[in-house]
Amino acid sequence: MKLKESNELKQSGLKNTKHRNDVFELIKKSEQPVSAEYIFSELNKNNCPINLSTVYRILDTLCLSDLVTKINIDTENKNLYEYNCMAHRHYMVCLGCDKILTVKNCPLQDYEKQLIDETDFVITGHKLVMYGYCPQCKQQQNN
Amino acid sequence: MKLKESNELKQSGLKNTKHRNDVFELIKKSEQPVSAEYIFSELNKNNCPINLSTVYRILDTLCLSDLVTKINIDTENKNLYEYNCMAHRHYMVCLGCDKILTVKNCPLQDYEKQLIDETDFVITGHKLVMYGYCPQCKQQQNN
DNA sequence: TTAATTGCAAACACTTTGCACGCTA
DNA sequence: TAGCGTGCAAAGTGTTTGCAATTAA
C-alpha cells in the first residue's frame, strides 16, 4: 500500500511510518485543536487501527520536532494538539459548545516591547485565549 | 482557638471553617498561582493538617464563588489557583524556572471589539500568557 | 439540631512506561 | 540487520467521589 508521505516528517528527520502520517494528516486537516482520544477513535473508526499509547508517543515526537503544538485550554482537562503553522497562537473558545476558533492576527507586538522594558524578561512567545459564546450558542442563551 | 475570619467568605455566603480560611489565606498571600498539592503540603507543614481531597473541594467551592480562579499553564500538567482580584488574567511564565508573574495592564480592549465584529462571538473574558525567560534564567542561558 | 464539611479509601481520567515483537531505512 | 516504532498491559499522576464521622450556624 502506498503511503501518503509527508515531506514535513522527512524534513524534520523523522522516520516515515503509516501511523505517523495518519496522525499528522488528521491534525493538519482538523479545523480545531484535537485531543489524543479524538485522534485515536477517529483513526480506528476509519480503518486505521492504532493504539492509544502509540498516539501519545507520536504526538510527543511531533511536538518535539515542532510540527505540532500542544495546548491546554482552561475549560478542558486534557491536552489538545494542533498543526504548528508557526504563527502566533490565539484562540477563541466557546463556553457553550467548546468550539475552538484559531484567530490569525496579533495585536501584541507593541505590548511585548513594553513588557520587556518593564520586566526585563526575554519573551519567546505568547498565547492568547478569548472566552465567550459563538453565534449559535449566543442565540440559544437569548431564548 | 480564634479563627482569622474572612469577610469575603461570609459575603459570598460560604460557611466559615478553619480549613477554608487556611486555604483562602494561603492563596491570597501567594505571589503566584499555586497548585492543590502545594496548598496541601504547605498547610500540613505549618501545623494545619488537612486532607488533599478537602483541598480540592475547597478550591472548587472558592472557584464557584469566584473568590479564586483556576488556571492551567500549558507547560504544567496540573491546575493552578490564584486569588481572583477581578482583574484581567495576564501571565508571564518563565520557561527556565517556572516562575509565574501576573501582569496588570491590558492592551486588548480594542482588539476585543475588532474580534467581535469579525466573528460575531460574545466575548466574556480572555487570558494572555507570555512565555520567556526571567532576568535570572536569561543570564544563566548566556553563560 | 441539621445540613454542610471533612477524612479516608477507592475510583477515575488522562498520560506514561517496560517489554517483546515488528517494521523502516 | 540494526535500531527505531508499535501494541499491550501495567503503572503513574492529578483529580473526584461515596460514605461515615464531625462541625458550623
CB atoms within 10 A of CB B88: 17
Element (H, E) at A63: helix A52-64
Q: What is the pLDDT of residue B142?
A: 65
pLDDT higher than threshold 70 for residue A84: yes
Using a 7 Å CB cutoff, list residues 47-76 of A near strand C. Answer: 52-53, 56-57, 60
Q: How confident is the model at residue A3 (pLDDT cuts 50, 70, 90)?
A: very low
Return the C-alpha cell found at B1.
482557638
pLDDT in tens, B15-47: 999 999 999 999 999 988 999 999 999 999 999
Q: How confident is the model at residue A21 (pLDDT cuts 50, 70, 90)?
A: very high
pLDDT higher than threshold 70 for residue A123: yes
Name the CATH topology of B1-86.
Arc Repressor Mutant, subunit A (1.10.10)
| A138 to B126: CB separation less than 8 angstroms, yes or no | no
> Which segments of chain B have a pLDDT < 70?
1-6, 85-89, 141-143
Give the residue nearest to nucleotide C25 (CA to C1').
A15
Q: Is the CB of B53 under 7 A from strand C?
A: yes
Q: Phi, psi (5° rounding) for residue A94? A: -90, 120
Distance in angstroms: CA B86, C1' D24? 29
Per domain, the residue ranges of chain A are: 1-86, 88-143
| A135 to B121: CB separation less than 8 angstroms, yes or no | yes
Instruction: Give, in words, the CATH class of B88-143.
Output: alpha beta
Sole residue written with cell 503511503: A3
Least confident of A39-43, A104-108, B113-117: A104-108
A121 touches chain B (CB under 8 A): yes
Q: What is the pLDDT of residue A111?
A: 83
Provide, rounded to the nearest whole percent, the portion of chain A with pLDDT above 70: 90
Give the global pTM.
Answer: 0.82
pLDDT higher than threshold 90 for residue A20: yes
Q: Work out whether the CA dihedral A94, A95, A99, A103 comes out positive or negative.
A: positive
pLDDT higher than threshold 50 for residue A1: no
B103 touches chain A (CB under 8 A): yes
